[in-house]
Structures are given as structure tokens and as C-alpha cells.
Chain A
Amino acid sequence: MKYLKFLLVGIFFGIVLVKSEVVSWYRIYEMFRFQSIHMYGIIGTAIISGIVFLQISKRGYIKNIEGAEIYVPKKENGLIKNIVGGSIFGLGWALMGACPGPMYILVGTGVYSMLIVIAAAILGTFIYGLLKDKLPH
């Protein structure tokens, strides 16, 4: 029962990303070619809505389910890891036309070859874990 809400959020997330065409390889290509406002509009309005939500909650108007303050984990600083890691991710995002969320969702839409990409992404994460201490951050 305690997991039902997460299942429902996941279902909602999957539906939204399909209906908004965020899972479309073509929409990602179009975005990186600056040929449409579609993806910029989605990411932009998502961030603006997110900022509004977090600013309201920061002022104490919204608490979490346990009545505590809404907590957003702090991202780690580090110019190299964010720029280099981000660029490597960007290369893969534009090639596959999918970031991790859409990868799972596309399997649900029937793109079963995406399972190969997911397996490779898990392997990529594993390789990062092996090399972590040797990489500049």
C-alpha cells in the first residue's frame, strides 16, 4: 500500500511524457537543431512551475506528507564533473533521443530494443563506479 502512490506517480509521469512527445526521438533532434519551441517550452514551463512550487514551500506554506519541510537534496559542486559528465550525457541523450526516464517509458510503448540501451546504460553506470576515484571531479 505504501508503494501504491509511487506506482501512480510513475504511471502519471509515463503518460505525461508520451502525450507531451518528450519521448519522441525526433523532438530531441529538433530541439538540438533549434527548429522548434516545443521542448524548450516544456522544460522552461516545468522549471518555472517548479521554482514557484519550491519558493512557496520554502516560505512554509507547503509541508511534506510527514509535516516536515520540503527537502531538495543538494547537488555536488565540481566544475569538471558537471561539465564533462554533462557533455557525455548530452552526447548520449541526442544520439538515443532519450534520457533515462523516457528510456523506461518507451519500453512500455513497445520499443523493446530500448532494453539494449538500458542494459548499456547500466553498464555505463557500472564503469563510472569502477573509475570514480580515478576521474577528476
Chain B
Amino acid sequence: MEHLLNPWPWYVSGPLIALVMALLLYFGKTFGMSSNLQTFCTMAGAGKFSNFFKMNWKEQSWNLIVVAGAIIGGFIATQYLSNDSITELNPTTIKELNSMGFSNSGSTLVPNEMYGTEAINSTKGLLLLIVGGLLVGFGTRYAGGCTSGHAITGLSSLQKPSLIAVIGFFIGGLLMANFILPLIF
């Protein structure tokens, strides 16, 4: 039981994520979380503005159900499958973040300095969340997939476009974490 409540090691977690992909493929579907963003656009009537959104969203309803499940899973994991253990980060990471103004690194899943009430009530904080969301939503559709579609499914099926996209993910991610984030905070 204790093993279940503690954070799971990476060598258990990785294969379990592959199992999610395998199950969806077994059910005749595919593992791609960002597709739902497109479905939400279609449901809101975006088909009037671009052919990109002209589709029968009901065919994608299975994926919306996966999203609903994921939200429930997040709730179950934090409410019933967790103890008070904090994320065991590299001490260097904690020190670095501390010098950028992030306190208590690892005690929550996301930093209060970005997602807390005070942060989202400030212009800068709100702008960051909006800009970050825009980048994710725009970039993932431009690249044709996100971490689940390209990094897990695409690389598992040895597809070259996915390798290029994942290299792109890292170009952007390395730029943000190493150069841009220190300028913001």
C-alpha cells in the first residue's frame, strides 16, 4: 500500500503510459490529447470560420470521455492515492528556483507563484497563463500532435515526422527553461 501512495518510480510509470497508448490502439483509437482542443473548437462552432474545424465532433466523443476520465483520475490520485510526500527534486533545481523567487518547490504540483490566486489576479500572472496556453494550443496543432501523439505514439511507431516534432519540443522547452524563464522571474 505504501508503494502505491508514494510517488511511483520512472521505470514503473513509463511502461504504464505505454499501456494507455496500447489500450487505446486496442480499442481502435489513438492516443492524442491535443486533438480534444480542436474538437472543443468545432463544438463551439469554429467550423463557420475555417474548414479545419469542419468535422463531426461526435466521432471524437470517445476522446472527450478520456479527458473526463483523466480529470477524475487526477482527483482520485490526489484525494485517495497520495500521502504528504513532496516531489524529490534535485537540490540544485530547488536552489535555482528559489533564487528566481519560487519558494517551497516540490511541495505542490504547480507553483503558487504562477497558478495561485494572487498570481492570477495580477496582470503579469494572468498574461503568462494566457500566453502559455496560446503557445501550447497553436504549436501542438501546427506540429500535428503533442507529447502523447508525437513523443509517445509517434516515436513508438518509429515515425520520422514525430522525431522532428520532438526535437522541436526540446528546442522550445530548452529555450524557455534556460533563457526566457529567468528573464520573466
Which residues does A use to contact B, with CB under 8 Å? 3, 5-33, 35-39, 41-51, 53-54, 57, 62, 64-66, 68, 70-79, 81-101, 103-111, 113-114, 116-130, 132, 135
Contact between chains at B141 and A129 (CB < 8 Å): yes
Q: A19-B81, A73-B30, A81-B142 are in contact. Are A90 and B169 (CB under 8 A)?
A: yes
Contact between chains at A20 and B13 (CB < 8 Å): yes
Contact between chains at B62 and A116 (CB < 8 Å): no
Pick the contact of A92 from B71, B110, B133 — CB < 8 Å? B133
Contact between chains at A95 and B181 (CB < 8 Å): yes
CA distance A9 to B132 in the complex (A): 27
Q: A23-B74, A104-B33, A106-B74 are in contact. Are A111 and B109 (CB under 8 A)?
A: yes
Pick the contact of A93 from B4, B15, B147, B159 — CB < 8 Å? B147
Contact between chains at B136 and A109 (CB < 8 Å): no
Minimum-distance CB pairs A-B, first 6: A10-B69, A14-B73, A86-B168, A90-B172, A120-B133, A124-B137
In the complex, the chain A residue whose C-beta lies closest to that of B169 is: A90
CA distance A65 to B160 in the complex (A): 28
Within 8 A of A (CB), among B121-164: 126, 128-162, 164
Identify whether the interface residues of B are mostly helix, strand, loop, or mixed: helix
Which residues does B use to contact A, with CB under 8 Å? 4, 7-8, 10-30, 33-34, 36-38, 40-41, 44, 46, 49-50, 52-53, 61-63, 65-78, 81-82, 87, 89-90, 92-93, 96-97, 105-106, 109-111, 114-117, 119-120, 126, 128-162, 164-178, 180-181
Pick the contact of A121 from B136, B144, B147 — CB < 8 Å? B136
A82 contacts across to B, CB distance below 8 A: 143-144, 161-162, 164-165, 168
Contact between chains at B75 and A108 (CB < 8 Å): yes
For B40, B109, B129, the residue with the greatest tally of chain A CB atoms inside 10 Å of its CB is B109
Pick the contact of A114 from B73, B97, B105, B115 — CB < 8 Å? B115
CA distance A6 to B61 in the complex (A): 10
